[in-house]
């Protein structure tokens, strides 16, 4: 291998590699995000009949048979491309649009997992739903970087007694 080839390889590693990384993480990240959103929309449609509310009391005419705590959580991270964009945005301030879909899908996924937890145990409704966000510190010590964001949804799942079924047919 002569000097010129080594020089070219050096140039490639120096300039092309970061661009390639940005491009590939952008493409893969976008595909993963699109798939995730379509899965979320589908599952939201599937469980739309179940009442999931943030009230801490039940309507007076509903009777609870059994109740328990249900939770759903997800740890999610931004792709490299979006992280770079967000970093640039943070220099000038303003709305960081690349973070918004991340938090949106994390929150909806957490709520969906909570609902699926309730449904799998045969509950009819979830009351007093609360959402919580926390940042996870990185485990390989890269300064103040963040491994991911954890979204937690929890609430009180309730089995309705005396055959009361909530729905549009009850007015």
Partner 1 sequence: MAGLKNFVGGELAGYTELLQDSRKEATDRMVEQARSMGANAVVNVRFATSSIAQGAAELFAYGTAVRVR
The reply to whether 71 sits near partner 1 by the rule CB under 8 A is yes
The CB-of-36 to partner 1 minimum distance in angstroms stands at: 7
Residues whose CB falls within 8 Å of the CB of residue 113, separated by 6 or more in sequence, listed in order: 72, 73, 74, 153
- DSSP secondary structure, 102-120, as one string: HHHHHHHHHHHHHHHHHHH
Alpha-carbon span 90 to 125, nearest angstrom: 41
* Residue 52 per-residue DSSP state: B
The reply to whether 77 sits near partner 1 by the rule CB under 8 A is yes
Q: Which of 76, 146, 67 is nearest to 110 (CA)?
A: 76
The reply to whether 53 sits near partner 1 by the rule CB under 8 A is no
Size of the site for partner 1 (CB under 8 A): 35
Binds partner 1 (CB under 8 A): choice among 76, 96, 103, 164: 76
Site for partner 1 in 87-146 (CB under 8 A): 102, 109, 130, 132, 134-141
Contact residues: partner 1, CB under 8 A: 21, 25, 28-29, 32-33, 36, 69, 71, 73-80, 82, 102, 109, 130, 132, 134-141, 147-148, 150, 152, 154
């Amino acid at each position: 291998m002569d000097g010129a080839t080594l020089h070219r390889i050096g140039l490639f590693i120096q300039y092309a590699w970061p661009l390639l990384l940005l491009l590939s993480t952008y493409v893969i990240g976008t595909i993963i995000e699109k798939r995730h959103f379509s899965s979320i929309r589908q599952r939201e449609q599937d469980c739309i009949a179940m009442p999931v509310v943030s009230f801490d009391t039940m309507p007076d005419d509903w009777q609870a048979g059994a109740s328990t705590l249900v939770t759903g959580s997800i740890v999610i991270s931004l792709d490299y491309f979006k992280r770079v964009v967000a970093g640039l945005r943070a220099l000038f301030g303003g709305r960081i649009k690349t973070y918004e879909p991340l938090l949106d899908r994390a929150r909806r996924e957490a709520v969906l997992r909570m609902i699926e937890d309730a449904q799998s145990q045969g509950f009819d409704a979830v009351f007093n739903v609360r959402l919580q966000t926390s940042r996870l510190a990185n485990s390989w010590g890269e300064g103040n970087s963040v491994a991911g964001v954890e979204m937690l949804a929890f609430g009180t799942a309730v089995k309705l007694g005396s055959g009361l079924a909530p729905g549009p047919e009850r007015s």
